[in-house]
Amino acid sequence: MRVGVFDSGLGGLTVVKAISETFKGAEIFYIADTMFAPYGEKTKEQILQHSLDLTNYLIEEHSIDALIVACNTATSAAISELRRMFPHLIVIGTEPGIKPAIELSKSGNIGVLATPATLKGSKYQSLVDKLFSKKEVKLFEQACPGLVEQIENGHIKEEKTILMLQHWLKDMLSNNVDTIVLGCTHYPLVSETIKDIMGSEINLIETGFAIAKRLENLSKEKGHINIGPLKINVYFTGEINLKMVDSILDNWIDGGKIKVRNRYE
């Protein structure tokens, strides 16, 4: 099984990490589209075009069997078109975990941290409308412009990042929000800071393990046998923070378990 994964930057590696813990006998080709990051502040048309370009590259150069759009923003903008254009592929998108948040919350007050584009997207809005019609809960949505860039640059524990999160989480803290949906694959990388602000009892919902499980189930239907080694290749289109890559993937670069290279070389 050859699996292509892409995101605007390093956030999708949190999905790759989740996949690596259970998925075997495969090769993963991950693209960090850092030249065009962040997606969250671009138009739907721009995001769709980048998604198509990356998918065509993964098919032509790496003959992938499955595609994972490891980005909430790109999923909202492009997933329907990708499934239409590439029906031979397993295509898995990323959605904010609204449903598990509703099931887990005791206060009924749920926060969502996401990029501006995700919150404005029709896919997110239809998901919210569908799920919130079934249960009475209160939603606190917060766009986080600039947070992806802070994470990409490795500024996870810096004062600026902490102040940004304190500002965005202020209303959630004062309104007894007990569950927060991390609506961007980058955001699990600042989960410890979020817990420091909201308290250790806060429930944080991320989607990496749900995607990994979905990949397992769909690939099994295609005849994949989940045994054997897993190879990981990381490509980038612009500058990349190798220390962050290594940190997310448990120092696998030094251990020789992954290869990192420029897509255009």
> Annotated catalytic sites, by residue?
71, 184
Look-up: residue for tokens 């120092």?
251
| Full strand arrangement of the beta sheet holding 138-143 | 138-143, 109-114, 179-183, 203-205
In sequence order, the 6+-apart residues with CB closer than 8 A to the CB of 148 are 8, 9, 11, 37, 38, 40, 115, 184, 186
**Euclidean distance between CA atoms 130 and 62, whole angstroms:** 37
Dihedral Cα 56, 57, 60, 66, nearest 10 deg: -70
Cα torsion angle, 36, 38, 42, 45, sign: positive
At 231, list the tokens.
């190879």
Helix, strand, coil share (%) of the chain residues, nearest 5:
50, 20, 30
Other C-beta atoms lying within 10 Å of the C-beta of residue 123? 18
Q: Are 184 and 144 in contact (CB under 8 A)?
A: yes
